[in-house]
Structure 1
Amino acid sequence: MARSELELPLPRRWAHSQGVGRAAIAAAAGLDCNSELLVAAAILHDVGYAPRLVVTGFHPLDGARFLRDEHQADQRVTRLVANHTFALLEADERGLQAQLAAEFPILDDQVLVDALTYCDMTTTPDGGPTTAADRIHEILTRYGRDTTVGRFMQRAATNILEAVFRTEEAMAAHPR
Structure 2
Amino acid sequence: MAANFTLDSNPDSYFSLDDILASQEKVPCTFNTQVSNMGYMDQSTTDTNIVSGTKLELPFWLAKSLDRGSRSIINIDTPKNYKEVYRQIFTADPNVVDLHKLGPYFYLFGGKLISLHLPDNDDIASVLLKSGDLLLMVYRQVEVQGLFDDMVFFVFM
TM over 0.5: no
Larger strand percent: 2
Larger helix percent: 1
Kindly name which structure, 1 or 2, has the bigger radius of gyration based on alpha carbons: 2
When the two structures are superposed, what TM-score results if normalisation uses the length of structure 2? 0.30
Higher relative contact order (CA 8 A, sep 6+): 1
When the two structures are superposed, what TM-score results if normalisation uses the length of structure 1? 0.28
